[in-house]
Chain A
Amino acid sequence: MNRKWIAFAALGALTLSACATPPQPAQPAQPSQPQQPSASRKQFEGITINAITFSGPQIAEPMQRRGKEFSEATGATVNVVTVPFSELYQKILNDFATGTNSFDVVVFAPQWMVDYVEPGYLEDLTDYVKNNPDIEWEDIGLFFRDFSATYNGRIYTIPLDGDFQMVYYRTDIAKQLGLSAPETWEDYLNFAKAVSEAKLTTEDGKPVYGSCIAKKKAAQSYWMFTSIASAFIQSKGTEQGAFFDTETFKPLYNNEAAARALEIYKETTQYGPPDEINLDVGDTRGLWTAGQCALTIDWGDIGTLAIEEGSKAKDKTGAVILPGSKRVLDRKTGKLVDCTPELCPHAINGINHAPFAAFGGWSGAINKASKPEVKTAAFAYLKYMNQPAQSNVDVTIGKTGFNPYRVSQFENLDNWIKAGMSEQAAKDYLGAIKASLNSPNMVLDLRIPQNQYYQQIVLDGALAKFLAGEQDIAATMKEIEDGWEQKTEELGREAQLNAYRATLGIKK
């Protein structure tokens, strides 16, 4: 018996000694030799760039792959740290705020930018971009250049991905039922209703639903709702803003436009899967590739997922710009009124489209506290990933999670067809993206300080209660308005308004 307890104690001692630091991850040995100038010495020899993003494969995969290439070319070492998506925002913020500064490059959603820029954690990249013409900045979509990457007129991020929402529809079902791609949200409802009433089934006997929208609480549903609501709220271009009045900072979510959007949002539930209220985008995407949905609202991802192995929606997936509306909000009265050329200057055929750049597309930024030489190398790394030579290939690969954001990415269909899309599908898909991207009425996602509270807590919470039948339209709108107003008062109306105007590029 005695021996066992000696072993027990020995094990304890062992574990104590294990408290030492863990082994370094496998990485090339740091070149620490004295720096001797030689002809073969590479540009960034001896520099290590620490980058953080979420655990992919999306985003992280191209960062690692391109990082390796970048290392070979320049001699810099690129370490890509990945953390679960849900913790990325807080993790970056904690690291900056406590002065830990473990990361030189952060790749995140530009929506979070303001929380990093305002306290001064991010390096101003305006001059870097100016001094590096080979980044081909002008080739990047106007919206991403002027809004996504920019805050208060200064550039802080380098876009690596283009994110906005579209509507996908099943071309075969449309043909079968004699329907056309939805142009307005009313069309969307009619399409969904027609499919629902036709009681179609897939080959293996499963029902086909009229519309599948990810409506799960505390997930991504509020973006879907904003996609609907914006068509009714924003009509005069990006600078008009779709969340708050740009003069008074009063919420725009308690009026006839928002009420109509809530009505539509709820009505789509009737034509959806029975448990739609608990579906996240992963689930609706699964349903889409299983051929069980006729319509959905989603980012660019469905385009590449639909052509993956085993998909039953291959060559049947059509994409269009987010549906619009012929009636929009009159901001003075809070009523819905018919579009006029003056009210809807960007309308097409009298329909106001407001494509929503939800989330904003993954972008890279540089830590201001990093050493100057590291910052230079970090910018070179981001530039390398962003340049057409690399990015134009990466956006056609589903695994990268990168969606197109450069004009040149729409011109060459070959990459897309090589990736498995039919020519028609590629044209359709790129056409929808192009139409959205070129729209001067693109809706910028909310980027004011603590936008997560405004959207994920207040908006999302109110929508969840509304869908669950806990409250009606009026109560829902009031809850959103009150919640937003309270947070605004807490953070200071003036400061929030200024930040909002800064994101929209409005100069004083």
Chain B
Amino acid sequence: MAFLSRFGLRSTFAMRSLMIRPLAPTKRLQSQLSFSHRLERLAPGVLLLPAVLVVLFLSIAPLVISLLLSLSRLRFVAGGLQIQFVGLANFERLLFGREQRVLFGVLDTPNPFGWAILALAAIGLARWVGSALRARAGAAAALGRAVSAVLLLGLLYLVVASLFSEGGRPGTLTVTLLYVVVGITFQYLLGLALALLCAQQLPGRTFFRVIFLLPMMITPVGVGYLFRMLADTNKGPLEPLWILLGMQDFAWANSAWGARVAVMIGDIWQWTPFMFIVLLAALEAQDVEPMEAAIVDGANGWQIFRYITLPAILPVSTTLILIRLIESFKLIDLPNILTNGGPGTATETLTLYAFRIWRALDIGGSAAIAYILLFLVTFIATLYVRTIRSRIGGGL
């Protein structure tokens, strides 16, 4: 908010609302204001409040009701639903009970590579916590960082012990994290590259710009079916290719990684356009002047990108990544249609599992998963916003 005060635009407004405390003018003054003045003073609230109210109306009830559901067992009885409170039983079952393996997979001692990753991460996190201590940012901040660091390390151990170990197998949580990380990385890099290419003055670029949006326009379910057609090794279009490679007996669907890669390709294909269009809009809205000045000064393409373009699109990039982060954790349609989460449990995401047990009337269990997801994503998103976004200065 620094720039606000810099420009002296700290607003003084009167607003009677539940959440926004007015910097109230005296009563005498208020009565002197004409209607338009009063409206002017109310402007910030008038602009913000409708959105807040709509979201509030539609999000509070589901949030609270699903919290209740996650703590209870649902039965259909004559005349309606019977909600029987079971305390934390649903969470216990998922985190420690029979379904623990679904969430966390099978863990084993990491191999040397796994240990190396863990060690590096531990050192990095220790320094991060240490820097908070050195900066004397206050005990609360340091404690916050320490807790975050422990949680992150735990999460990382979960990933490493299931992916980089002899007998480990990833659970839905790890698979979800994998989709999120790989998906976002590729989508962002590809989206950025395509946006940069399309921002050039090339004849016919309109064609490419529109074409590149296409995958995003297909309903996610449709994308799932489309990729199932394409990936069919028996009657899909790539069948001759499989035969050419001598792989007619190969089926990606049989191999855990084959299936995961298929899901990731579909996800990247579908969501790169989102990154692309938003980044393109950011590039197009960029101020040309500094760039012209840089060219006059003899800067090369890379320097312009690194020192002018990149800083200009970083704020919107962080938003993009945050949005995709939140959305990717909910990935469901592609694995659901491509593989139904198979082979075995190889491609199942948290949301897909929640969806399946929800359909089988385990509504409490599925609400519990939703809450676990809520905690996890809120944790990661808060951390992301606090550390990366605020450093880059995305206006927070």
Contact = CB atoms under 8 A, between A and B. Distances in A.
| Direct contact between the two chains A and B in their complex (CB within 8 A) | yes
Interface of A: 86, 89-90, 93, 96-99, 115, 118-121, 206-207, 216-219, 273-275, 277-278, 286-287, 290, 292, 450, 452-453, 456-457, 461, 464-465, 467-470, 482-483, 486, 490
B360 A274 contact: no
B98 A482 contact: yes
Interface string B82-126: 000000000000000010000000000000000000000000000
Contacts of A119: 76-79
Contacts of A490: 73
Given A274-B254, A292-B234, A453-B361, 15 more contacts: A115-B76, A115-B361, A119-B77, A216-B340, A217-B339, A217-B341, A218-B356, A274-B248, A274-B251, A278-B339, A456-B359, A457-B357, A457-B360, A464-B343, A468-B343
A218 B343 contact: no
Nearest to A218: B340
B169 A470 contact: yes
A278 B359 contact: no
Contact of B343 (A89, A120, A278): A278
B345 interface: yes
A51 B360 CA distance: 23
B359 A452 contact: yes
Nearest to B239: A206
Contacts of B234: 206, 273, 275, 287, 292
Contacts of B342: 216-218, 277-278, 464, 468
Nearest to A483: B98
Contacts of B252: 275
Interface string B346-359: 10000000001101
B327 interface: no
B344 interface: yes
B47 interface: no
Contacts, number: 113
Given A93-B76, A470-B169, A457 B356 contact: yes
Given A450-B361, A453-B361, A456-B356, A465 B250 contact: no
A218 B256 CA distance: 16
A89 B98 contact: no
Contacts of B357: 453, 457
A97 B343 contact: no
B162 interface: no
B106 to A, nearest CB: 9
A275 B76 contact: no
Given A119-B76, A216-B342, A453 B98 contact: no
Contacts of A483: 98
Contact of A470 (B235, B339, B345): B345
B78 A120 contact: yes
Given A120-B78, A277-B253, A490-B73, A453 B362 contact: yes
A89 B360 CA distance: 9
Interface in B49-96: 73, 76-81
Interface string B316-355: 0000000000000000000010011111111000000000
A464 B359 contact: no
A89 B359 contact: yes
A482 B99 CA distance: 11
A230 to B, nearest CB: 22
Contacts of A206: 234
B297 interface: no
A219 to B, nearest CB: 6
Interface in B246-299: 248-254, 256, 259
Contacts of A98: 80-81
A231 to B, nearest CB: 26
A452 B345 contact: no
B80 A286 contact: no
A218 B340 CA distance: 6
21 contacts: A96-B76, A97-B81, A99-B80, A218-B340, A218-B342, A218-B356, A274-B248, A274-B251, A274-B254, A275-B233, A277-B251, A278-B254, A278-B342, A286-B235, A452-B359, A461-B345, A465-B345, A468-B343, A468-B346, A482-B98, A486-B98
A274 B251 CA distance: 6
Contacts of B248: 207, 274
A328 B362 CA distance: 34
Nearest to A290: B235
A206 B249 CA distance: 12
A217 B169 CA distance: 18
B345 A274 contact: no
A95 to B, nearest CB: 11
A468 B340 CA distance: 13
